Chain A
Amino acid sequence: MEEGLLRIREVSKHFGGVYAVNGVSLDVKEGGICGLVGPNGSGKSTLFNTILGIHRPDGGNIYFNGNCINCLAPHQIYALGLVNAFQLPRLFYQMSVLDNMLVAARGQQGDKLLNSLFLRRKWQEQEKGLIEEALEILELMELDKWAFSLAGELSGGQRKLLEVARALMAKPTLLLLDEPAAGINPVLGRKMFQKLEDLSRNGTTFFIVEHRLEILFEFASWIYVMDRGKTVVGGEPEDISEEPAFYRAYLGEE
């Protein structure tokens, strides 16, 4: 079996005796867009939070790029190149859109206490470049006009876009997106996926939970279906859409 970029082995997570994720194993291969679908409450978001270190798994192992990441703190997982965008945007609302982007940038000179005071020249130089990058991504998301507005002033759809944009700013190897197209208009949603597809050609891998199946199936190269805390089936989109297990998961038939 080919080594995946993200390997999940028998991962479980329960809350007060109720298993939200129950022995999930799956692989996300390098490159392209991998989709994760399933009805509400099937454990997709819990699985994501467990991957990100927000929850500790109760069983099983998670490997990213060959490293076991079960016991790492979220900031250490970020350092390995695994980044996410939250389902409900968690922006820094009292900060400008551009500052939101700049927080996420990797390898900053000036975010250390002493460097920020004594290496001013250095980080100021670096920041110029980062701002350009940030503005490019914002343009991609049609947010550049609001660069200097507070994030709290954005509309719901724009917040969602900024959440994704901010995650892109972190130049992830693997980006986890939890329903990126929810709450934004379908045209923009499709556009966003096109951009993600472009980015995936440049080496970023995406692992996406999405309820808008028509968009996901169009762009994804691989789809996993989750139901009641387990992965029931995985395959290429064309095959999945003919899988009975996929329909069972959604329609709840036995």
Chain B
Amino acid sequence: MDPLLYVLDLIVFIGIFGILALSLNLEFGFAGLANFGKVAFFLIGAYTYALLSQIGVPFYLCLIAGATLSAAFGLLISLPALRLRADYLAIAILTFGEILRLIVKSESWIAGGDWGISVSPAIAISGGSHRVDVLVNIGLVYFCLLICFVIAQLLANSPYGRVMRAVREDEVAAEALGKNRARYKAQVLMLGSAMAGIAGGLYAQYLQYVLPGMFMPMVTFTVWIMVLLGGPANNWGAVLGAVLVTLFDRGTNIAKDYLTLPIDPSNLQYILFGALIILVLLYRPQGLLKESPIKTKALESVKRERSVVKGKGS
């Protein structure tokens, strides 16, 4: 395989998973919501994109539609689960994802069942090579990643971000301080699902096909590893996690072509993933990057004044 193409492909994957990691970081890292069904919203985005692109809808509308539908489902699933504890939400969303995959698998009239359907390229450049296509995709993916990152950063460093964290820390106390926790959780789940929907659309667009096998629960937990490893409640950490885990994934994929191991390498890869999560939880539950404190203009200026006063005093 063309080595440059391989690197470009890797870059696309990092971007797409970066968006997923940012979305889970909003939900889990900041708001403390255990979304064990991330892949469901990824799937909704991908299938919406695929189906709409087949009837000739322009790619940006496909992306927006995927995000909107995904957000709507995020809201829907939040309605019964939000009044409840973290474990109920986790089980309910996980089951939701499995059922969604079952539906697209068994109902072949929707999108080809097991065999999936193909997606037409968004921006066709006549005479362009495969490399050019991938570069176009990189542009698209990183543009979306940038938007998601900026939104996540702005939210994290605002009074809204303060409430998200407060709900994560102690939802009863947050509620007693006037914050409607159900509303905040529903909003965060909608926003996170919209981002996952965009990531799904980009994934479908890049691979130019969708099939149920792409949306196994493993995808969800790959994203969880990214967030836990990189550092929950730190958007840079989420992106860092996406980079590291994707590299690790690719690294083991390459290694298995060159190494002869006593264990089937595709099994080994998952075993290592699982072990990695457990090790991170045991030895570095805060992740590689620590939670980033809330930064607003006013807070920063007070902090600065105080350090000046302290400097004078000593």
> Residues of A at under 8 Å CB distance from B?
52, 54, 73-75, 78-79, 83-84, 86, 90-96, 98-99, 102-104, 106, 108-113, 115-117, 120, 123-124, 127-128, 131, 135, 147-148, 166, 170
Contacts and interface: CB of A to CB of B under 8 A. Distances in A.
Given A75-B175, A103-B166, 19 more contacts: A74-B172, A74-B175, A74-B176, A91-B169, A92-B166, A92-B173, A95-B166, A98-B299, A102-B162, A106-B178, A111-B163, A117-B154, A120-B154, A120-B158, A123-B158, A127-B159, A131-B298, A131-B299, A147-B302
Contacts of B77: none
12 contacts: A83-B176, A86-B173, A95-B165, A96-B294, A102-B162, A110-B160, A111-B160, A116-B155, A116-B160, A117-B151, A120-B154, A131-B302
B179 A103 contact: yes
B175 A127 contact: no
Nearest to B161: A116
Contacts of B296: 124, 127
A102 B298 CA distance: 12
A237 to B, nearest CB: 29
Interface of B: 151, 154-155, 158-163, 165-166, 169-170, 172-181, 187, 191, 233, 291, 293-294, 296-299, 301-303, 306
A90 B170 contact: yes
Contacts of B294: 95-96, 99
B195 to A, nearest CB: 14
A120 B175 CA distance: 24
A113 B180 contact: no
B303 A112 contact: no
Nearest to B173: A90
Contacts of A111: 159-160, 162-163, 179
A111 to B, nearest CB: 4
Contacts of B297: 124, 127
Contacts, number: 117
Nearest to A127: B298
B147 to A, nearest CB: 12
Contacts of B162: 95, 99, 102-103, 111
A123 B191 CA distance: 21
A131 B154 CA distance: 19
8 closest Cβ pairs, A-B complex: A110-B159, A116-B160, A78-B178, A92-B169, A116-B158, A90-B173, A127-B298, A111-B159
A103 B158 contact: no
A96 B169 CA distance: 12
Contact of B165 (A54, A94, A127, A147): A94
Nearest to B294: A99
Contacts of A75: 175-181
Interface centre among A113, A128, A131 (most CB of B within 10 A): A113
Contacts of A104: 177-178
B180 to A, nearest CB: 5
A13 B233 CA distance: 40
Nearest to A105: B159
Contacts of B172: 54, 74, 90
Contacts of A74: 172, 175-176
A142 B158 CA distance: 27
A166 to B, nearest CB: 7
A167 to B, nearest CB: 8
B298 A116 contact: no
Contacts of A52: 176
Contacts of A117: 151, 154-155, 158
A95 B299 CA distance: 13
A128 B181 CA distance: 25
Contacts of A96: 293-294
A109 B163 CA distance: 12
A189 B169 CA distance: 27
B154 A116 contact: yes
Contacts of B160: 110-113, 115-116
Given A75-B175, A116-B154, A170-B177, A108 B159 contact: yes
Contacts of B175: 73-75
A113 B187 contact: yes
B235 to A, nearest CB: 15
B154 A78 contact: no
A106 B179 CA distance: 10
A98 B294 CA distance: 10
B182 to A, nearest CB: 9
Contacts of B166: 92, 95, 103
Contacts of A79: 178
Interface centre among A73, A92, A95, A106 (most CB of B within 10 A): A92
A76 to B, nearest CB: 8
Contacts of A147: 302, 306
